[in-house]
Chain A
Amino acid sequence: MSSTLPIIPIRWRRPDENTLYENVYKHGTPNFHPFPTVTDVVCAAHCPLAILHSLLHGQREPLTETRAQHLRLGYKIGNIFHDFIAHLKTRALLDNIRFTDMSQIRREFEDFTRYRGINDRAKRNVWEYYLRPWCERKLDELGNLISSSSRIFFEVQVGNAYVSFRTPSGGSVSYPLLGRIDEVDIDNRKIIERTSMGLPNETDPPRLKDFQIWLLWKTLIGIPRSRLPSFFRGINFRNFELVVETPYRDFYVDKDDYRYETLTHQAYTWIHDVFFERRVYHEAYLNRSCTYSNQIENCGFRLACYGRRGRRPYREARDEMRREFRAFYLHLAYELLWSQHLFRYQLTMLSEDELENLGRIALGRVISYQNDRIEIRLERTGMNNLLSKRESGEIGGYSIVVGTPLCGVKIFGYPESFYQDRVVLRLRQDFITPSETATLLVTDPEAVAFTEEPWFLVENIQRNLFSLETWGKIKDDTAENDPTVRFIEALFGTRRVRPEGGGGSTHDTNR
């Protein structure tokens, strides 16, 4: 992001009471600003074009691990890296295993990857380039875990509609923010952002990772104590250390660095403009963070910015199609604002009672957790809410936050049985991580169950539209024989569209 831009904090508009209570007809341009995630804010701070690609074109992962691309690992290295470390620590804490040498950890890794469909080459590379360096550094710490009564929570979701930031004029302004913390280590008073990015000799944290953990910390400390889960309630997170952990180094983040405040204001301005500023395409392009000849290596959207669109002359009707599609991108984004973002506001701005009365959530307590099943005892009208959504066929499963709507560990389950005031849910296999086991072992934790719409489908549509917009053919004859090129040129260009062929059944008979 260009640092020459003036910092003008935006007064963030949140939904009014009628909108929060869904007493208005959801229609047209929303009367509130978006509720971004930490990833969105980091993406906007990374580059204005990146946030445009993210929010309008459905592109994901603005920052990627470049070495994983070079090694062609082909899947999410960060997830394996993070999940295995969570698994290791949980095993040490829960099963009283002392990890003292690397071969023991290597064996544990082999067991861990066995049922995850990871091929041998990838397994070897992940171990060699990411896990081995990290484990060697942390061997002492891992060995001591068993002797401490550490309380470690992984993947803690935090959300707050009023995260306060200082302004250049000395005042303050608040923005909504939602994110997920990789690890909260209560006894060592650390909040950790773990990343597979970073190289052995680097002296600075990977791009914007320090900013990311700072945003997450700001979100967490802004949550009113009464709305924290019982297992966090007595803890003062303000004096926790913020750590960015790469495989090779730990970076401690200065919480008072004013650059972060500046980045935040600029990022929110861009996020606002993507939704509500007509000239945002032009402005974002002018203020982009890199150029074709000087690209940011770990930017995940390089293909979106510098793809082959300029070098593929067919289809000829590209400009007309792009003009049409731009309106769709924005309206699909508004659709998400009215559904997904409004729901985030509701979760963070309404009390739990109000949410329950609205039928948006069901409150309960975790009774038991075994293997892939969780049993929750629901309170008051919770059961009716869950049942009515199920009967109306609106859902396939439920999201469950162990904790409060503002802070907790989020999992996903399919209802298996309902009886009296209890519901048993089968957890989705790919969602079960050892970290959740640890959280759920907290005595009698509160839980919130709710349903979420498949919002990712809207992003998929945006992404596919953008893909079609940027796709093309180079050669005349290939384009001439490509039905998709022909179709688009017929619809947006000079060819004709007809409802039927020359007459009769002209279909091929011997293909």
Chain B
Amino acid sequence: MIRTDKNRIREIRDNVDQLISKFDTRQRRAVNATLDEWNSADDFVLPIIDGPPGTGKTTVATAAVAQYLSENPRNHVLYMCYTNFAAEQAMRKLLELGFDYTQVVRISSNPSEQGDGVIGFRNEDELSNRQRTYLNNTPVLVCTLHRAGIASRFRRDGARVVIDEFSQVNVPIFFATVSRLRRLNPRNFALFGDPYQLPIVTTQPLLYQNICSYIRGRVPQYDPIGLITQYRMHETICSAVNQLRRALGTYEIRTADRVKNQDLTSLGYRWIRTNTSPIFEEIIDPQYPVVIVNTDYLLNSNEVRMSTSWVNPGEARIAVRLAEAFNRSFIKDSGERLKPIILSPYSAQVYEIRRLLQSYSENIGECTTIYRAQGREYLCVIISFVRNNPYGFIGFLAEPQLRAQTYVACSRAQAKLVILMSFRTFLNAEHLDFDYLYRTPGAKIIDHLNL
């Protein structure tokens, strides 16, 4: 337990102090707000930290947790996320700060997940007495929001509650969580997330709204604490993200000095130019961190409907060929090859690309939907937007709640971003996001790909 290991507390405190000393003013303010109490006169203190991509939401949240526990070793914290992946990330960050498995535990609903600080169970009666004691005594408990009820049984009265990735926490889920935690008398709820990222998958427009937007709608004078410095992407990629943030009507973020010039070569990859086909040379050249390619002239690049999804065979093929080109051309001294990620908003396109990727004997890259990529970051991202029609129809990418797909996809890239899209469809129908994206300062535009 944390109170019995003074050296470890000191180590955590040192690590946190060191980390916080590197924080900018906004990040420090966020840490302090997270540690504030609800109990002040007639007000309720509800810290909401608006953290755009790469601004270190989870780092700030875990630093606040660590600082709180190093000062109050007898207290408890409940750290919740919507997805298991986000919960794993938070756990990893806490371990990096010096926590060990006696101080942080994650509960999972999969009984086969056991060990390394994880206890998987479906019902409470599956737990052994030893596991119960472990859960009761471990200061930080990490879980998903759906497990809030069970988790609260292992937390002491007055525990702190941190909710990460609130873009996926809609209003009913949030209030259901408040309901489950009410017997715990939580000292506050600190919410971390980016209100402009993707909401949960739902058929109901009313359920798209995240808790931050809801609170801002109800309390107009409420202003969340915004983080403004990002530590993930090259500044040109950040410019593309800022173009999209502008289209979404929110503030711009700035790039930390240490990542301003972060390209593939600065991350340890050598560009073997001789391995690069001249057709793709301009696209994969690391001096262009953002490349936007027009796919109108590709063979077979018309969209094809597959049930409720869409596929673009020409775009799928070029995405895979690009992945292969990156894989062959960028190699580390250790021999490790670059494995780009291909993202698409349409699951049919993802299946098509995965099928093509499987035809290679080696793993040259991965493909997934933009939804699944949320919360993750990749060195090199290729996006296939699929839609290609003369009418400018881009489906849900134009919908108010789901247009964030573009924003999320672009902000996953750290060093290289390649966007494949039909200019006639996306640029000629007043789709603000794509119009802004096209005008990204420093982006390389390839209007005609000579294959």
Contact = CB atoms under 8 A, between A and B. Distances in A.
Given A461-B176, A483-B187, A499 B33 contact: yes
Interface string A321-347: 000010110011011001100000000
A487 interface: yes
Nearest to B148: A464
Contact of A483 (B185, B205, B219): B185
Interface stretch (B69-77, B134-142, B323-331, B377-385): B69-77
Interface string A74-85: 000000000000
B32 A500 contact: yes
Contacts of B223: 499
Contacts of B32: 500, 503-505
Contact of A498 (B46, B112, B204, B205): B46
Contacts of B185: 482-484
Interface string A473-511: 000000001111011111110011111111111111111
A508 B75 CA distance: 10
A3 interface: no
Interface stretch (A17-25, A144-152, A305-313): A17-25
Contacts of B72: 507-511
A483 B186 contact: yes
B308 A22 contact: yes
A432 interface: no
B375 interface: no
A457 interface: yes
Interface in B168-211: 171-173, 175-182, 185-189, 202-207
Contact of A335 (B36, B42, B45, B202): B202
A69 interface: no
B271 interface: no
Q: How large is the interface on A (under 10, 10 to 19, 20 to 34, 35 or more residues)?
A: 35 or more
Nearest to B206: A331
Main secondary structure of the interface of B (DSSP, over half): mixed
Interface string B95-114: 00000000000000110100
Given A487-B38, A500-B225, A507-B71, A396 B43 contact: no
Interface in A1-44: 21-28
Nearest to A334: B204
Q: Which among B29, B32, B47 has the greatest number of chain A C-beta atoms within 10 A? A: B32
Interface residues of B, number: 62
A72 to B, nearest CB: 18
Contacts of B172: 325, 328, 332, 461-462, 465
Contact of A331 (B146, B175, B177, B204): B204
Q: Which among B176, B223, B224 has the greatest number of chain A C-beta atoms within 10 A? A: B176
A285 interface: no
Contact of A496 (B43, B48, B173): B43
Nearest 7 A/B pairs, CB to CB: A501-B36, A490-B44, A468-B179, A464-B176, A500-B33, A507-B35, A331-B204
Given A461-B172, A497-B43, 15 more contacts: A25-B308, A26-B203, A26-B308, A117-B125, A325-B172, A331-B207, A460-B146, A464-B177, A464-B179, A484-B185, A487-B189, A499-B33, A505-B35, A506-B40, A507-B35
Interface of A: 21-28, 117, 325, 327-328, 331-332, 334-335, 338-339, 388, 396, 414, 457, 460-462, 464-465, 467-468, 471, 481-484, 486-492, 495-511
5 contacts: A23-B308, A396-B110, A461-B176, A491-B218, A505-B36
